[in-house]
């Protein structure tokens, strides 16, 4: 019994757990505002590069971003946001990580939450029940951040994804 508690403690120190509040599910979707922040969506229209991922303890904690890859694999990833139909694309391009590309569906509601669904090829967004909720912060013409929450040893910490305009 003591051995399993020790292993769990070690796992909690080295791996961060995604908080339930940052993953959208069908039961949570009813509490989210469905009114869109169209002006912020238009501000994000275009092509972006994720230039940095930061969080407290990043030297000791491994974060699996969007249930796809280590957060550091997202540095250099390219994102395209189309504001008039809330579609786009994201691609992981880091040479030290496995490549990945996917269509996305996204929106920003009037609560300042970025709602993201990562789709499989040919998949319709309405068939995807899981997604991600991130806070939008620091929007300028050339940069913005998405802020996610993770649970590290029972404490909620912010993971900040920094974007720079590519064009």
Dihedral angle computed from the Cα positions of residues 160, 130, 95 and 14, in that order, rounded to the nearest 10 degrees: 60
Where does the pLDDT of residue 82 fall: very low under 50, low under 70, confident under 90, or very high at 90 and above? very high
CB 51 within 8 A of CB 162: yes
pLDDT digit string, tens, across residues 39-66 = 999 999 999 999 999 987 666 778 889 8
Tokens of 51: 């230039």
Cα–Cα distance measured from residue 145 to residue 147, given in angstroms and rounded to the nearest whole number: 6
The pLDDT of residue 26 is above 90: no
Give, as one character, the DSSP assignment of residue 20: G
Where does the pLDDT of residue 122 fall: very low under 50, low under 70, confident under 90, or very high at 90 and above? low
Cα–Cα distance measured from residue 121 to residue 104, given in angstroms and rounded to the nearest whole number: 10
């Amino acid at each position: 019994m003591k051995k399993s508690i020790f292993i769990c403690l070690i796992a909690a120190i080295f791996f961060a757990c995604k908080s339930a509040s940052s993953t959208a599910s069908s039961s949570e979707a009813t509490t989210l505002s469905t009114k869109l922040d169209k002006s912020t969506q238009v501000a994000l229209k275009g092509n972006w590069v994720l230039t940095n991922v930061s969080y407290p303890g990043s030297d000791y904690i491994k974060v699996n971003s969007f249930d796809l890859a280590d957060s550091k694999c997202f540095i250099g990833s390219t994102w395209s946001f189309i504001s008039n139909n809330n579609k786009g694309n994201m691609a992981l391009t880091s040479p030290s990580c496995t490549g990945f590309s996917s269509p996305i569906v996204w929106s920003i509601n009037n609560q300042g939450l970025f709602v993201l669904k990562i789709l499989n090829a040919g998949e319709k967004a309405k068939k995807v029940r899981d997604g991600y909720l991130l806070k939008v912060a620091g929007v300028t013409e050339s940069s913005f951040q998405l802020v996610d929450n993770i649970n590290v040893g029972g404490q909620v910490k912010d993971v900040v994804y920094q974007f720079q305009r590519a064009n």
